[in-house]
Amino acid sequence: MNAAKRLEIFRRFHEDNPEPKTELAYTSPFELLIAVILSAQATDVSVNKAMAKLFPVANTPEAIYALGVEGLSQYIKTIGL
């Protein structure tokens, strides 16, 4: 697919839905990124519940890294991960 075709696709998306909304709850681009990644494996509702507990504790890359795998797992186990 060439650049012109890609631009046309995005132009049509924007024309049909100029201000897309999401069901995911977030307050920063990083939080949205994490929620989107997790929502690929779970429902938006279950991701929002898990993120409501995670984001007050860790909502930056550094804070999530500091939790470690074990610590992060405690927050996302409710969505089956």
pLDDT at 41: 87
Look at residue 69 and give its three-state secondary structure.
helix
Q: Indicate the pTM of the whole model.
A: 0.75
Alpha-carbon distance of 69 to 12, in angstroms, equals 41
Task: Say if residue 44 is exposed, middle or buried (CB neighbours under 10 Å; 0-12, 13-18, 19+).
Answer: middle
Up-side HSE of residue 5: CA atoms within 13 Å toward CB?
A: 2
Alpha-carbon distance of 55 to 25, in angstroms, equals 10
* Among 35, 60, 37, 64, residue whose Cα is nearest residue 48: 35
Q: Is the pLDDT of residue 80 over 90?
A: no
Q: Is the pLDDT of residue 81 over 80?
A: no
- The 10 Å Cβ neighbour count of residue 32 is 14
Mean pLDDT value of segment 14-30? 94
Give the model confidence (pLDDT) of 23-70 as tens digits.
999 999 999 999 999 999 899 999 999 999 999 999 999 999 999 999
